[in-house]
Amino acid sequence: MKDLERRAQVVRAAQGMASRGLSPVRSGNVSARSETSDDTFLITPTGMDYAQLSPGDVVAVGLDGSMEAEQLKPSSEWHMHAAIYRDRPDAKAIVHTHSPYAVAIACTHRGIPPFHYMVAVAGGHNIRCADYATFGTEALAENAVRAIRDRKACLLANHGQIVFGDDAEDALDLAEEVETLANQYWHVLQIGGPQLLDSEEMARVLEKFETYGQQ
């Protein structure tokens, strides 16, 4: 089987969404670029219990939407994954979740402003919210691409969040960070709203993040 280890990474991240409380039941999806083809990505199938998922269930999809007939049906959000991969060569894996606090904030059509320096973990001064469009549509894919431009994460209005990373585990970790920030922001709103960090401070934080941790 082609891309066996990459498929296994997708399965582990999909199961991790549930164990970390980021996506209830069968919601959310995970994908990763193929190791064997620059024009293909691997994505979780639609409507399956991730606890029962195996690497052979993961679906290979071309960036143009092409797929082999003998596979399972891919996630209904494959358009969104394909659009981000086409637009962002730096995206190696994508995680889309319906995590509770990200959904709550997204249902107000707000992004997450620089209320805390860790907002910079998503690659910019804020985390935008993509305009609403029906799930599984090209319109939603286009909206997500706009909102995630020069970022690694965005919210999706009345829907959830989507992030990308260097691999599936990295993307899952970022999705958890975004959910934590959404949780904190929601709580701050309950007590009158935050004092925001200014653009100069967020620029300093972004610069420090470039050398943060074990390089």
| CATH architecture group of domain 4-209 | 3-Layer(aba) Sandwich (3.40)
pLDDT in tens, 139-156: 999 999 999 999 999 999
Query: Rounded distance, CA 161 to CA 107, Å?
Result: 11
Task: Find the helix or strand (DSSP H, E) in which 203 lies.
Answer: helix 199-209
Q: By the 8 A CB rule, do 197 and 112 touch? A: no
Q: How far is CA 40 from CA 31, 37, 78, in A?
A: 10, 6, 12
Q: What confidence score (pLDDT) does residue 68 get?
A: 86
Token representation of residue 181: 């920030």
Q: What confidence score (pLDDT) does residue 23 get?
A: 86
Q: What confidence score (pLDDT) does residue 213 get?
A: 58
The pTM for the full model equals 0.96
* pLDDT under 70: residue ranges of the chain: 1, 212-215
Catalytic residues: 77
Q: What confidence score (pLDDT) does residue 38 get?
A: 87
Strand stretches in 11-133, DSSP E: 29-33, 40-43, 59-62, 93-97, 129-130
